[in-house]
A and B are shown apart, each in its own frame.
Chain A
């Protein structure tokens, strides 16, 4: 898979379609996001584990909006870039996506429903995970049980803000979770339920289910299960599919005529 990826990138460079390619580099046992240029040795380029490419790309484009950047994306990375583009955080026109299909194992780890991008350059498409026992378990609880479940989960929170920092869709310069009027500062665990429900609410029409929040959580709180349950509601209430159509407007940032 990594060999194929390198070939695709080599080809892009040869055809002069990109200035640089952002992918993952393996060096001294450590895999990390890296920007490859034309003359660089590609033998260190690898495809896993996944890192939040949306964060990296928006950071680079903020400083270099006109650079032609190739970026290696999985299904979630592409959805995130689409949502970021809708909110003027990235410019899709200057990106060349190199699509990687996740393996069955990857898909299971993330409980991913769509573990592939629209165009697959590397890897074979595997079907998404449709049955999610965690979501089903919570859906079957009554309100009191649900409340107790989440209360117990959030009592483990260490207020690292890892869910915010690891989220490619959390790009606000000033996060309101840091404001004392919403969540009392300096307290451990942070106030329940404000900290987590504000964040959940803010993710409703933007969470592309990349699982990075849950992966970053030192307390292993099942955050993506919560966000996924909310996303299902948004989908049924507004008919909105996150990260699919760049022209489709996100419901929470759209003001309808009758609302003005």
Chain B
């Protein structure tokens, strides 16, 4: 008889809530929230409370599978890994290292992502490694590096409590980051003003002092006007601008064209309300901005992000407690997967691959010759398959068959590959297309660290043995690397991998499993073993020295409504589900709360099309069509529809536009044109 509570971190969103896995006689039987945890303090959302359920789901992959004569057949680890090592080696020799591409995983630990990118760079010999951060915050990483020198959330979550004014745009905070939502409700209770700018009337709107509804894709237009109003009113922070920034005059000149009247015409925000909101934000001593995918998933994603940075610097709201630019990261470890180098342009710790000194440093550390050519991003990899450049892909814990734009195209591309390896905990839509599927251990079955949205590196502890023959992702990848003859993959534990990561990545320099503990971890940068971690960035000085204003003009989305496709389609998530549903749809209470997708449509549009609530309708775009039930609601504006992307049977991403932001290569998942029709 044995019962214990094993401290871990919730495997869903980027809040980083502390959980206690309830283990009875080696079986995972429940979850309790960690009391006194700095983020969730004894609370959880519905997904967190139930995050143990999918772990023991009978659908878990329990043995390696290999396609033989068209059928997936169970094989031994030895057969599977030898085959992969041989085939990867063969493709590399015949078509060159850049014909291979790897997707790391925002669901895996830092240690695993470190090993995956090291394997890609040091063993396969290419920088073609990317992951789903490309689809969520690539524009944040690119944009904020340009503005501030660091692409992460500037402040920490508990600081929201002391903010005087919080501007939330493009973040459905209560549904997508419920335990950050808690801090916002508490801040409101304390007297903070809340401004919400969002195309949909999302739950946080109920608590807003000002709510501005705007037309999707017009972010730069209203943000420039917002900035212009503040300058016109003389409410800008002259001292901060003078001492800590550059490029202000150009900004001032550009935003001068964006009058409140212009913004109203383009975005639909009534000018008086915009003026009121701008004054409210600029007058606050501690003004904090929260944003998420509503800002980033556009062809102007970087422009949108840098406009947010402009506003924050203009009002002197960077580098102080309870202020800042706070992009909320979607996945439990998407911050970490970026931090440890799961990106095609940077080594661990955001050290550019194109920089000769960095190349030398990592060549020395890893004992290999490296390539200084920047690798391909997700959508570019798939396009590369079409062009015959990419022959083999190794996908770890990602499901592009549901998460990426224009799924029909994704499927065509993946089917063309000579080798597709998928490593996951369930047979996802992507795994169904694979030549080889490797069963991975879940978060409850391994040690490691996740980095939450506020740069908080926290430890998870193995609670139960891996299900079936599944193995931890790091262990599998190290095995493949060794079979390919590589050295430097003899890690005996995640802790050892963290030590190597810390030795090559200064922002993680002072971290170790021993130091991280099990109550809130450490916030990077944490350069040495004595450093206590960093709550907020850019104190006194920006990472890049002076903060850079960016003078940006408004550009329309790539695809605008027309007669054929008159609606703007936006996609996103629901409170009760998570991403491609592999975990949440296997969780009984979540599946019963919301069993399938629906398309939100405004009552006036619905009436015009004679569509009633709950009716099955056809939604189409230039890329595909789906059948889905209508949800008639006035929470969405006229001319706009919204579809969550969780559900394969009515997949929003059959419709979405793969057009990319030119700098960050993030697809425009938040705006495309679509049509809604009655079926009968």
Contacts and interface: CB of A to CB of B under 8 A. Distances in A.
A63 B25 contact: yes
Given A30-B518, A185-B592, A219 B45 contact: no
A218 B519 contact: no
Contact of B518 (A29, A63, A218): A29
B523 to A, nearest CB: 15
B30 interface: yes
A60 B24 contact: yes
B576 interface: yes
Nearest to B27: A63
B237 interface: no
A134 interface: no
A35 B594 contact: no
A188 B174 contact: yes
B284 interface: no
Contact of A33 (B5, B33, B36, B49): B5
A56 B576 CA distance: 26
B529 interface: no
Interface stretch (B179-187, B469-477, B498-506): B179-187
A32 B7 contact: yes
B42 A216 contact: yes
A160 B32 contact: no
A33 B32 contact: yes
A20 B44 contact: no
A178 B592 contact: yes
A188 B575 contact: yes
Interface stretch (A6-14, A151-159, A248-256): A151-159
A74 to B, nearest CB: 14
Nearest to B598: A186
Contact of A30 (B7, B181, B589, B593): B7
A10 B203 CA distance: 52
Nearest to A69: B1
B175 A216 contact: no
B174 A158 contact: yes
Contact of B517 (A28, A32, A33, A220): A28
Given A159-B46, A189-B203, A63 B178 contact: no
Nearest to A33: B5
Interface string B642-672: 0000000000000000000000000000000
A27 B1 contact: no
A67 to B, nearest CB: 6
A32 B46 contact: no
Interface string A26-60: 01111111110000000000000101100110011
Contacts of B178: 158, 160, 218
A32 B33 CA distance: 10
B594 A185 contact: yes
Interface in A163-217: 165-166, 178, 185-186, 188-189, 215-217
Interface string A58-87: 011001100100000000000000000000
B185 A156 contact: yes
Contacts of B33: 162, 166, 216
Max chain B C-beta neighbours (<10 A), residue from A27, A28, A67, A160 = A160
A32 B181 contact: no
A240 interface: no
Interface residues of A, number: 43
Given A160-B49, A188-B175, A27 B589 contact: no
Contacts of A145: none
Interface of B is mostly: mixed
Given A60-B24, A178-B589, A218 B4 contact: no
A160 B185 CA distance: 15
Interface in B160-188: 174-175, 178-179, 181-182, 185-186
B208 to A, nearest CB: 13
A59 B22 contact: yes
A32 B49 contact: no
B20 interface: yes
A150 interface: no
Nearest to B5: A32
A122 interface: no
B594 A29 contact: no
Contact of B46 (A52, A161, A166): A161
Nearest to A155: B206
A162 B589 CA distance: 13
A186 B34 contact: no
A222 B35 CA distance: 18
A138 to B, nearest CB: 18
B594 A218 contact: no
A32 B34 contact: yes
A22 interface: yes
A60 B3 contact: yes
Given A35-B3, A63-B24, A219-B182, A29 B519 contact: yes
A162 B181 contact: no
Nearest to B2: A35
Interface of A: 19-20, 22, 25, 27-35, 49, 51-52, 55-56, 59-60, 63-64, 67, 155-156, 158-162, 165-166, 178, 185-186, 188-189, 215-220
Given A162-B49, A218-B182, 13 more contacts: A27-B518, A29-B518, A29-B520, A30-B37, A33-B3, A55-B30, A59-B24, A59-B29, A158-B174, A160-B44, A162-B33, A178-B589, A178-B593
16 contacts: A30-B18, A32-B5, A32-B20, A33-B32, A34-B5, A35-B2, A35-B4, A49-B35, A56-B3, A158-B178, A158-B575, A161-B49, A161-B589, A188-B203, A215-B42, A218-B182
For the complex of A and B, the 5 pairs showing the least CB-CB separation, nearest first, are A29-B519, A32-B5, A30-B518, A28-B518, A35-B3
